[in-house]
């Protein structure tokens, strides 16, 4: 080893932190060989110091619950932040950057909220922030956007970025489970948290697409600018109708450059995509990101989007890339992070063109469908399919309408009119149908 | 722009070279903004100087057909080699490296044959070689293996790495075309060369998997160590039988670490994979690489594996990563290239375990299938399926046999015995069935 060891401090020794400690211990020789210098875990900071010591993740004498003691550790050039959230984690990251330490983080909430400030702080102190693990778990999609696809003007991203939601949707579609049953099973298998709110409402996915879209488009986008609908309101009935029409449902993170308007649109919602699409084949807790570049066309990145070892894989790769000395140079010389860019000009959501799936509950009497479709026609929205099954179920029957492309604003107005009709029961269900580019 | 311009020389202004020149011209501002300095194309070397000038790819005064004049160009820090082949290209690359210039190349044949020497030469002269475009066209799979998956011991690669072959197989499977018809169509559409030999025999794929396996396993593997069978002997009949059994055919590049034996196996052959696999969904001229890492599990990279702009995308990304200053640092500090590693210990191909599809032409008389399957049984090979259709076609009927896992050596011996039977006509067809890891 020509070069000296690089020292690492790890904040947060939960699931992913445990995976990181395990990799650093078990693969120490391989890593030292690859980067030409050993990586030494010098200090672990965790509120539950005793639990960490008992778990045997690391020597007891390097585990601490004292923040000052952690930051006073000598020869600690890199800090891995796995505390999560935007409170203490933010304080830790700022303190480390101000001391000139490089940061590796998996914290999507923090970067989606405070990314531009933190990246700027890093630059100020000649430090770097590596964040592959913040999006797509073990999939090196940040690396692809930052380095591999450099030569492209990126036109669009379509991502399945939350394993919990994708597991739930796969179970609903493939096994006919209700949302509640699929969620309960996901919790039992450890694919969903006890409080799954941030996952199932689309909030976690919104954080990730804010980070990825910032990089892809060279703009500032924060998580709170991303409108997000989750999977928690989905009715199995609609998934079945969609399947009949040739579609699979996915919680998609979508970021599109609106070429004419010079704006970008970013959002998260459950969408129908045609079953023949590669993204439709992404099942269970897996994630994938489709990237459309003006030169390369369509590329797709697939893998485990969460879980102990896949996430640890991304964290340790970042650590090695810093330890090898090239990542700090890349962070400094490539002008990719959102601190260097203007706030995004966001498209008016109502102006977005898409096809839509509508399901209405219509009274089983003459003229109702004509009335409903007339409301769409009055807004210039034409139909590509109507589906109504024979039923004896009662006085209201579900009617599915598939539209051609329409602006969301026009669609919502037409739907409001439909909802107000006497012969229609309850609010119509609206699901966007995404036609992925060729 | 704080930093001075970086000068580039381009050797070979054919299809991909034209794409590179186009990107550098059209996206000059974007690239300069991303890397903080302008990229200037200082010189183009091509035997067909007049054609290049007439094409308008670049100012006439920077185009030359004189090698010395090219290399004498001042302020040229990077040379892009797109001449192809292992003759003149090798001379050019060596000359550039000896002058301390960085190399960007898409030349898989050159790297598969001379990679270790060339990488060593680069190190000696403090230069670097970037080669994303050599494997998988526009897909940043080299970037993923070199940086994004750093923390993994890579256990296996399965790649669809030749767009020509995948297009041909997709047409045969999807549209029932014969091999000859599919090849002719591929040529007409520009997906296959006038002389398609290197593509259809698997040679091109062998070059690519030699490069990728060297990186993934940290060993030296040259292209001539990779046994390769192509798609040119495939009979539509077998694709149809395979489809009936639930399989799609793909020309797979396979590199596997044989965990027990401490060896690696690398090869290229048409394989059946189950239709439900993501790799089976990769259609037309697209490529994909599945990578299995010990921590991250399965990741997959998909995109256009060839073509002007996708390949140019990878070339220009490499150029920008060099121009930004980080790639040379990464090349120097990360010990990934095969010049730093020992020759691979290759597994005995006969020892490899796999399932197999066999088709024999058996005389339509009692006892023949019993005889054939007995030859397999005698080598300890058990069967998972037998398929024979009712037919009035003649005295010989095709019988399909699917085996459980067997060593290739045992299988070949059993097949030799079957072939020698009087009641069997012609050599049996053997196609490997690949069960991808979970």
Model pLDDT for residues A410-431, shown as the tens digit of each residue: 999 999 999 999 999 999 999 9
Cα–Cα distance for residue pair B105/B314, rounded to 1 Å: 10
**What's the number of domains chain B is made of?**
3
Catalytic residue among A101, A177, A181, A208: A208
Query: Which candidate in A35, A137, A138, A148 is best for mutational testing of the B interface (most B CBs within 10 A)?
Result: A148
Residue B438 lies in a domain: no
Catalytic residue among B208, B275, B329, B345: B208
Q: B238: left (phi > 0), else alpha (psi -120 to 50), else beta?
A: alpha
Q: Is B98 exposed, middle or buried (0-12, 13-18, 19+ CB in 10 A)?
A: middle
Residue A438 lies in a domain: no
Given a cut of 50, whether residue A435 has pLDDT beyond it is: yes
In this prediction, residue B194 carries a pLDDT of 87
- The 3-class secondary structure across A249-285, one letter per residue, is EEEEEEEEEECCCCEEEEEEEEEEEECCCHHHHCCCC
What count of Cα atoms within 13 Å lies in the side-chain half-sphere of residue B23?
30
Q: What is the percent of chain A with per-residue pLDDT over 70, rounded to a whole number?
A: 99
Q: What is the percent of chain B with per-residue pLDDT over 90, rounded to a whole number?
A: 92
Domain CATH for B154: 3.30.360.10
Q: What is the mean pLDDT of chain B?
A: 95
Given a cut of 70, whether residue B223 has pLDDT beyond it is: yes
Question: What residues does B346 pair with on adjacent strands?
Answer: B264
Judgement on whether residues A24 and A120 belong to the same structural domain of the protein: yes
Given a cut of 60, whether residue A2 has pLDDT beyond it is: no
On whether the CB atoms of residues A199 and A162 are closer than 8 A, the answer is yes
Fill in the DSSP letter of residue B343. Answer: B
Q: Write the pLDDT tens digit of every residue in B276-334.
A: 999 999 999 999 999 999 999 999 999 999 999 999 999 999 999 999 999 999 999 99
Q: Is A392 exposed, middle or buried (0-12, 13-18, 19+ CB in 10 A)?
A: exposed
Residue B247 lies in a domain: yes
Helices B28-35 and B308-323, interaxial angle, to 10°? 40
Question: What is the ipTM for the molecules in this complex?
Answer: 0.97
User: Are B326 and A329 an interchain contact pair (Cβ–Cβ within 8 Å)?
Assistant: yes
Start-to-end CA distance of chain A, whole Å, equals 49
Output b/e per residue, B28-47; b: 16+ Cβ within 10 A.
eebbbbbbbbbbbbbbbbbe
To which H or E segment does residue A7 belong? strand A6-11
Q: Is A208 a catalytic residue?
A: yes
Judgement on whether residues A316 and A297 belong to the same structural domain of the protein: no
Judgement on whether residues B366 and B253 belong to the same structural domain of the protein: no
List the single residue in B with minimal CA-CA distance to A278: B281
In this prediction, residue B305 carries a pLDDT of 92
Domain CATH for B35: 3.40.50.720
Given a cut of 60, whether residue B12 has pLDDT beyond it is: yes
Mean pLDDT in residue range B57-71: 95
Q: Measured between CA atoms, how close is A150 to chain B, in angstroms? A: 5
Kindly state whether A219 is in contact with chain B, defined as any CB-CB distance less than 8 angstroms: no
Pick from A320, A332, A329: nearest CA to A36? A320
Q: Measured between CA atoms, how close is A380 to chain B, in angstroms? A: 37
Mean pLDDT in residue range A34-62: 95
Kindly state whether A41 is in contact with chain B, defined as any CB-CB distance less than 8 angstroms: no
How many C-beta atoms surround the C-beta of residue A2 within 10 A? 6
- The last residue of one of the domains, among A282, A306, A330, is A306
Residue A1 lies in a domain: no
Output b/e per residue, A165-182; b: 16+ Cβ within 10 A.
bbbbbbbbbeeebebeeb
Of B150, B297, B312, the CB nearest to A295: B312
Domain CATH for B425: 3.30.70.260
In this prediction, residue B395 carries a pLDDT of 84
Output b/e per residue, B341-376; b: 16+ Cβ within 10 A.
beebebbeeeebebbbbbbbbbbeeeebbeebbebb
Q: What is the mean pLDDT of chain A?
A: 95
Q: Write the pLDDT tens digit of every residue in B107-144.
A: 999 999 999 999 999 999 999 999 999 999 999 999 99
User: Are B27 and A303 an interchain contact pair (Cβ–Cβ within 8 Å)?
Assistant: no
Judgement on whether residues B237 and B253 belong to the same structural domain of the protein: yes
A134: which 2 tokens? Answer: 């913040």
Residue B373 lies in a domain: yes
Q: Measured between CA atoms, how close is A190 to chain B, in angstroms? A: 18
Residues of chain B numbered 281-310 and touching chain A (CB < 8 Å): 281-282, 293, 295-304, 309-310
In this prediction, residue B1 carries a pLDDT of 42
Pick from B212, B209, B251, B214: nearest CA to B226? B209
Phi and psi angles of residue A270, each rounded to the nearest 5 degrees, phi first: -70, 130
Kindly state whether B2 is in contact with chain A, defined as any CB-CB distance less than 8 angstroms: no
Fill in the DSSP letter of residue A346. Answer: B
Q: Write the pLDDT tens digit of every residue in B372-391.
A: 999 999 999 999 999 988 87
In this prediction, residue A164 carries a pLDDT of 95
A103: which 2 tokens? Answer: 């940061």
Mean pLDDT in residue range A103-111: 98
User: Are A150 and B330 an interchain contact pair (Cβ–Cβ within 8 Å)?
Assistant: no
In this prediction, residue A393 carries a pLDDT of 62
Residues of chain B numbered 150-189 and touching chain A (CB < 8 Å): 150-153
> What are the DSSP calls for B83-152, one per residue?
--SSSHHHHHHHHHHHTT-EEEE--HHHHHHHHHHHHHHHHHTT--EE-GGGSSTTS-HHHIIIIITTTS
Judgement on whether residues A360 and A229 belong to the same structural domain of the protein: no
Beta strand spans in A33-153 (E): 39-45, 63-64, 78-81, 102-105, 129-130
Judgement on whether residues A387 and A320 belong to the same structural domain of the protein: no
Residue B1 lies in a domain: no
What confidence tier does A365 reach under pLDDT thresholds 50, 70, 90?
A: confident
Residue A171 lies in a domain: yes
Cα–Cα distance for residue pair A301/A282, rounded to 1 Å: 11
In this prediction, residue B286 carries a pLDDT of 97
- The last residue of one of the domains, among A280, A306, A332, is A306
Judgement on whether residues B169 and B264 belong to the same structural domain of the protein: yes
User: Are B295 and A310 an interchain contact pair (Cβ–Cβ within 8 Å)?
Assistant: yes
In this prediction, residue A1 carries a pLDDT of 42
Fill in the DSSP letter of residue A228. Answer: B
Structural domain for B92, as ranges: 6-138+310-340
Given a cut of 80, whether residue A394 has pLDDT beyond it is: no
Strands A247-258 and B286-293 come out as unpaired
Given a cut of 80, whether residue A147 has pLDDT beyond it is: yes
Judgement on whether residues B145 and B173 belong to the same structural domain of the protein: yes
What confidence tier does B190 reach under pLDDT thresholds 50, 70, 90?
A: confident
Question: Tokens 């996901």 identify what position?
Answer: A186
Judgement on whether residues A114 and A256 belong to the same structural domain of the protein: no
Q: Write the pLDDT tens digit of every residue in A318-342.
A: 999 999 999 999 999 999 999 999 9
Judgement on whether residues A47 and A94 belong to the same structural domain of the protein: yes
Q: Write the pLDDT tens digit of every residue in A201-232.
A: 999 999 999 999 999 999 999 999 999 999 99
Q: Between A and B, how many residue pairs show a Cβ–Cβ distance under 8 A?
A: 209
Judgement on whether residues B85 and B130 belong to the same structural domain of the protein: yes
In this prediction, residue B393 carries a pLDDT of 62
Q: Write the pLDDT tens digit of every residue in B235-292.
A: 999 999 999 999 999 999 999 999 877 899 999 999 999 999 999 999 999 999 999 9
Cα–Cα distance for residue pair A2/A38, rounded to 1 Å: 10
Residue A318 lies in a domain: yes
Judgement on whether residues B58 and B90 belong to the same structural domain of the protein: yes
Q: Say whether A201 sits in a helix, a strand or coil.
A: coil
């Amino acid at each position: 080893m020509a070069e000296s060891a690089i020292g690492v401090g790890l904040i947060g020794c939960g699931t992913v932190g445990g995976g990181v400690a395990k990799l650093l211990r078990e693969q120490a020789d391989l890593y030292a060989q690859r980067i030409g210098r050993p990586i030494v875990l010098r200090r672990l900071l965790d509120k539950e110091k005793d639990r960490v010591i008992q778990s045997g993740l690391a020597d007891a004498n390097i585990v601490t619950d004292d923040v000052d003691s952690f930051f006073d550790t000598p020869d600690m050039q890199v800090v891995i932040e796995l505390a999560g959230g935007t409170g203490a984690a933010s304080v830790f990251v700022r303190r480390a950057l101000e001391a000139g330490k490089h940061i590796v983080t998996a914290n999507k909430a923090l970067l989606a909220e405070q990314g531009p400030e933190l990246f700027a702080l890093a630059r100020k102190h000649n430090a770097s922030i590596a964040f592959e693990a913040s999006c797509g778990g073990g999939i090196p999609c940040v690396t692809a956007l930052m380095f591999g696809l450099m030569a492209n003007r990126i036109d669009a991203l379509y991502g399945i970025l939350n394993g919990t939601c994708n597991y739930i949707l796969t179970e609903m579609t493939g096994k006919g489970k209700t949302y509640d049953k699929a969620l309960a099973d996901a919790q039992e298998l450890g694919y969903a948290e006890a409080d799954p709110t941030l996952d199932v409402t689309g909030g976690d996915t919104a954080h990730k697409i804010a980070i990825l879209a910032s990089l892809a488009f060279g703009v500032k986008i924060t998580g709170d600018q991303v409108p997000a609908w989750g999977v928690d309101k989905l009715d199995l009935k609609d998934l079945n109708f969609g399947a009949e029409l040739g579609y699979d449902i996915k919680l998609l993170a979508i970021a599109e450059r609106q070429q004419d308007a010079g704006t970008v649109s970013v959002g998260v919602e459950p969408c129908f995509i045609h079953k023949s699409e590669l993204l439709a084949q992404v099942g269970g807790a897996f994630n994938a990101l489709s990237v459309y570049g003006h030169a390369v066309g369509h590329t797709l990145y697939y893998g485990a989007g969460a879980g102990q070892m896949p996430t640890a894989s991304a964290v340790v790769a970042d650590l090695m890339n810093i330890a090898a000395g090239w990542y700090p140079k890349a962070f400094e010389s490539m002008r990719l992070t959102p601190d260097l860019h203007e706030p995004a000009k966001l498209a008016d959501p109502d102006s977005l063109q898409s096809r839509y799936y509508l399901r209405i509950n219509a009274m089983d009497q003459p003229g109702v469908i004509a009335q409903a479709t007339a409301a769409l026609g009055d807004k210039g929205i034409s139909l590509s399919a109507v589906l109504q099954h024979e039923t004896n179920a009662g006085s209201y029957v579900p009617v599915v309408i598939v539209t051609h492309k329409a602006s969301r604003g026009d669609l919502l107005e037409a739907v409001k009119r439909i909802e107000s009709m006497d012969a229609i029961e309850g609010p119509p269900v609206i699901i966007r149908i995404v036609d992925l580019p060729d």
